[in-house]
Amino acid sequence: MTDSDTPDLMDPEVQQCPYDFYKALRASAPLYQMPSTGFHLVSSYQLAREVIRAPDQYLSSVSPMALADDGVPQEILEIYEAHGWVPLASCSTSDPPQHTRVRGFLEKLFTAERVRAVTPTIDAIAESLLDELAGKSQVEFIQDFAHPLPMMVIADLLGVPRSDIGQFAIWSDAIVEPFSMMASKERRIECARLVVEMQAYFAEMVAERQKKPRDDLISEAISYRDQEGNSFTMQELMTIITIDLLASGNETTTAAIGSGMKLLIEDNDALQEVTADPDLIPALAEEILRLESPAQGMFRRCAKPSDLSGKGLREGDLLNIRFGAANRDERQFPDPDRIDLHRAKPGSHLAFGMGRHVCVGAALARQEIISAFRAVTRRYGEFQLVPEHPAPTYQPSLFGRNLLSLHIGWKTRA
């Protein structure tokens, strides 16, 4: 593949459906330096694993926000400095020792045991959202279901009142959008204003819990002590609450539930199979994560020169691991572009990464997707796109894969 005949990942058409582009890359240039951005796309499963498994060679401390042509504009820094806290690097975009300290806290929050304990709450939230849609033959599946579900779950866990959730949606988008690398400077400034509003909201909650701890994740973060016995600073707490817990989990899980519904509409056999046998829903969740990986790509930075896929990389070179491409690698997943509910190793995809930075919220996210599709397929069937609405489109992003909307029709099961 030559530079001139390679479509660009930033191309709006490729953004809508990147999978032919990924396939061409895997075949001819699994490590490909994109002329428009200079960073190297990693698209094969084997290379992605090689990069992920060498976290000291390929560092995570790369802020996608700082990669924008104008870096982080002064106006944005001033908004944070004057009205809030400058966000620190998130857990996923930091390296030891900062990463070790924050991960030490985060990785205990969503263990299998803790997720089992909150599963009845997740099920109840899914059911309550569907109760509100009762009697409707058409819904906008993202706003009506896929978006509020993870938001309500994490809000409950953090101890945020349900009545504040509407505001949350706006704040959560404001955190994530600058990471897309596709937001204008004006929008990023607007996002910074919204984020400091959100920080003020959480600072109040932190102050309340410092006086009177409760049984929630904010209180747990306040009382956490690292191996040296140090607690988190307010700047760290703000980053952990708003970025590591809220933003990392909401958009990704919404993306999985939204894309999952679209996949089921496109594949009636898979829908029939999971409807007839709900025990296949966990396998469906893995296939959704594999086929439409909500985190399509993450950056790494070369700590020192290396030779990857026969290419000499220099210190400071940037790699972008395309999880979405690795997860459709034909050498790893036979017939990779279709849902197969009986794959030998259903969870062997890289949608949650692996190793040092493997997603701390994976067990929670998996349960949310499972609870969502259990409830929806038990109560409804005959899903279809509503023809009066334009075909569903994805929000352009280098990181995520979120449907902007999904207008569907459905029928209540008898």
Contact set with ligand HEM (CB under 6 A):
60, 91-92, 103, 106, 154, 244-245, 248-249, 252-253, 256, 294-295, 298, 323, 351-353, 357, 359-361, 364-365
CB of residue 53 to ligand HEM, shortest distance in Å: 11
Nearest C-alpha neighbor of 43 from the set 405, 357, 350, 364: 350
Going by DSSP bridges, is the β-strand pair 380-385/407-412 parallel, antiparallel, or unpaired? Answer: antiparallel
Cβ within 8 Å of residue 363, ≥6 positions away = 110, 111, 112, 115
* CB nearer ligand HEM, residue 18 or residue 361: 361
* CB nearer ligand HEM, residue 6 or residue 148: 148
Beta strands in 102-227 (DSSP E): 138-140
Say how many C-beta atoms besides its own lie within 10 A of residue 107's C-beta: 14
CB of residue 323 to ligand HEM, shortest distance in Å: 6
* CB nearer ligand HEM, residue 79 or residue 106: 106
* CB nearer ligand HEM, residue 42 or residue 365: 365
* CB nearer ligand HEM, residue 41 or residue 79: 41
Q: What is the DSSP letter of 86?
A: P
CB of residue 376 to ligand HEM, shortest distance in Å: 16
Cβ within 8 Å of residue 66, ≥6 positions away = 72
Say how many C-beta atoms besides its own lie within 10 A of residue 286's C-beta: 22
Q: Using CB positions, name the residue nearest to ligand HEM.
A: 361
* CB nearer ligand HEM, residue 6 or residue 293: 293
CB 355 within 8 A of CB 53: yes
* CB nearer ligand HEM, residue 119 or residue 138: 119
CB of residue 108 to ligand HEM, shortest distance in Å: 12
* CB nearer ligand HEM, residue 43 or residue 60: 60
Long-range contacts from 175-180, C-beta under 8 angstroms, 24+ separation: 175/242, 175/243, 175/246, 175/247, 176/247, 176/250, 176/251, 176/400, 178/64, 178/65, 178/68, 179/64, 179/65, 179/397, 179/399, 179/400, 180/395, 180/396, 180/397, 180/398, 180/399, 180/400
CB of residue 386 to ligand HEM, shortest distance in Å: 25
CB of residue 361 to ligand HEM, shortest distance in Å: 2
79: phi then psi, degrees, rounded to nearest 5: -60, -45
Cα 139 to Cα 258: distance, rounded to the nearest angstrom: 12
Which residue carries 């794959």 as its tokens?
343
* CB nearer ligand HEM, residue 218 or residue 295: 295
CB of residue 276 to ligand HEM, shortest distance in Å: 25
CB of residue 187 to ligand HEM, shortest distance in Å: 24
Cβ within 8 Å of residue 100, ≥6 positions away = none
CB of residue 131 to ligand HEM, shortest distance in Å: 24
* CB nearer ligand HEM, residue 252 or residue 397: 252
Largest CA distance in the chain: 63
CB of residue 66 to ligand HEM, shortest distance in Å: 16
Cα 239 to Cα 230: distance, rounded to the nearest angstrom: 17
Identify the H or E element spanning 127. Answer: helix 112-132
Cβ within 8 Å of residue 364, ≥6 positions away = 110, 115, 118, 153, 249
